[in-house]
């Protein structure tokens, strides 16, 4: 009987180098669970279904990896069901102001889930943290995206050009892009500037013309693409430019988890580092809160905007759900 498939050497090298990069966090008390032979990731994490042998390298410049079957079919269907509730036209961040604006560059629809919205979402968030070696608190809430025929997201960076969004955890350094459904044709994720893009064979007639413009990954239900928008020294990587190709046949569903350089639980500035606040205080913890509130999200997305009995929301101030002197009480 053949032995178990081992991770690629390059992936092991990446994990080693990245662990060194995070050593200052570890020495500060950050708990990074270790893989154990029982099949779970860390003794205190429970079985979150993470298996590093299913990971293969897509590219080294930019750093990109694909995890086959990261999500089960049931998890994919569950995320789609959650995302359908509050789908709205996707927007982009203005490069100067950081505000959310409409753009023909991005024509999909999307909705944000709440952090740890339910047991399934919480398990997926833990699995992403286990794979990336990045703390859960550095991740944004998962965004569900839907692309109909002809819809796309032109080439863009996930890191920010404006200063406002960088206050909320710094740059988006990594993206976990989870594919929730198969797409008959089109809908690929393509990296136009990736090194080695000309070495990828695309002669079988299954790739769209858009995908032929770079190194591309086909959306397959359950698979997850992890790519890094920052180098190991936290500087931005222009080779991470990527696009979502137009859907030609079928429908595309995906879930995105953006992961920041620092905690995304609250905004961090030099002043706040000396006088830290937490989300129990009345405030807005996303620069888009006032915009979302004006569009009725306080009523349509209560769990994220206002919160639950156990977890405070991100936009309680804009939703007039608290007073400046109030504290959240679980």
The stretches of 5-85 forming alpha helices (DSSP H) are 9-21, 23-27, 73-83
Same structural domain for residues 212 and 121? yes
| Domain carrying residue 315 | 276-330
User: How large is the average pLDDT for residues 284-310?
Assistant: 79
Cα gap 110→167, rounded to integer Å: 24
Same structural domain for residues 196 and 109? yes
Please indicate, yes or no, if residue 270 is contained in any of the structural domains: no
Contacts for 283 with CB less than 8 Å, ≥ 6 apart: 277, 316, 317
Q: Coil, strand, or helix at residue 210? A: coil
Same structural domain for residues 240 and 297? no
pLDDT category of residue 289 using cuts at 50, 70 and 90: confident
Q: Domain of 170: which CATH number? A: 2.60.120.620
111/49: higher pLDDT: 111
Please indicate, yes or no, if residue 153 is contained in any of the structural domains: yes
Q: What is the DSSP string of 271-330?
A: HHHHS---TTBSSB-STTHHHHHHTTHHHHSHHHHTB-SSSB-SBTTTTT-S-TT-B---
pLDDT category of residue 296 using cuts at 50, 70 and 90: confident
Convert the pLDDT of each residue in 86-103 to its tens digit.
Answer: 888 776 555 555 556 566
Whether the predicted pLDDT of 262 surpasses 60: yes
Res 99: pLDDT: 56
User: How large is the average pLDDT for residues 238-256?
Assistant: 96
Convert the pLDDT of each residue in 158-183 to its tens digit.
Answer: 887 767 667 778 889 999 999 999 99
Q: Is there a contact between 7 and 55 (Cβ–Cβ < 8 Å)?
A: yes
Res 188: pLDDT: 97
Same structural domain for residues 192 and 290? no
Same structural domain for residues 185 and 323? no
What are the beta bridge partners of residue 145?
110, 254
Please indicate, yes or no, if residue 16 is contained in any of the structural domains: yes
Same structural domain for residues 123 and 196? yes
Same structural domain for residues 301 and 202? no
Contacts for 142 with CB less than 8 Å, ≥ 6 apart: 79, 112, 113, 121, 124, 125, 255, 256, 257
Same structural domain for residues 209 and 94? yes
User: Residue 148, Cβ neighbours under 10 Å: how many?
Assistant: 13
Same structural domain for residues 312 and 186? no
Q: Which of 165, 161, 145 is nearest to 153 (CA)?
A: 145
Please indicate, yes or no, if residue 188 is contained in any of the structural domains: yes
Same structural domain for residues 170 and 318? no
Contacts for 313 with CB less than 8 Å, ≥ 6 apart: 114, 302, 303, 304, 305, 306, 307, 319, 321
pTM for this model (two decimals): 0.69
């Amino acid at each position: 009987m053949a032995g178990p498939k081992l991770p690629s050497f390059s992936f092991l090298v990446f994990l080693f180098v990245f662990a060194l990069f995070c050593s200052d966090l570890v020495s500060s008390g950050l708990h990074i669970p270790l893989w154990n032979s029982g099949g779970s990731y860390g003794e205190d994490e429970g079985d979150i279904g993470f298996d590093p042998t299913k990971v293969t390298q897509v590219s080294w410049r930019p750093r990109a990896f694909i995890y086959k079957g990261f999500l089960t079919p049931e998890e994919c269907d569950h995320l789609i069901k959650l995302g359908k509730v509050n789908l709205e036209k996707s927007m982009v961040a203005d490069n100067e102001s950081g505000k959310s604006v409409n753009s023909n560059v991005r024509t999909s629809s999307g909705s944000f889930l709440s952090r740890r919205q339910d047991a399934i979402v919480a398990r997926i968030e833990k699995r992403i943290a286990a794979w990336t070696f990045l703390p859960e608190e550095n991740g944004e809430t998962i965004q569900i995206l839907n692309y109909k025929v002809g819809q796309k997201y032109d080439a863009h960076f996930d890191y920010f050009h404006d200063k406002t969004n960088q206050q909320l955890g710094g740059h988006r350094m990594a993206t976990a892009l989870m594919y929730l459904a198969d797409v008959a044709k089109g809908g690929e994720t393509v990296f136009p500037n990736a090194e080695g893009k000309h070495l990828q064979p695309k002669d079988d007639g299954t790739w769209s013309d858009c995908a032929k413009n770079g190194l591309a990954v086909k959306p397959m239900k359950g698979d997850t693409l992890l790519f890094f928008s920052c180098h190991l020294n936290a500087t931005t990587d222009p080779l991470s430019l990527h696009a979502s190709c137009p859907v030609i046949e079928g429908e595309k569903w995906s879930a995105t988890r953006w992961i920041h350089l620092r905690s995304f639980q609250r905004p961090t500035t030099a002043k706040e580092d000396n006088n830290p606040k937490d989300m129990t205080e009345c405030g807005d913890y996303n620069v888009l809160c006032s915009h979302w509130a004006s569009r009725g999200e306080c009523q349509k997305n209560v769990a994220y905007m206002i919160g639950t009995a156990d977890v405070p929301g991100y936009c309680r101030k804009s939703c007039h759900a608290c007073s400046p002197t109030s504290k959240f009480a679980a």
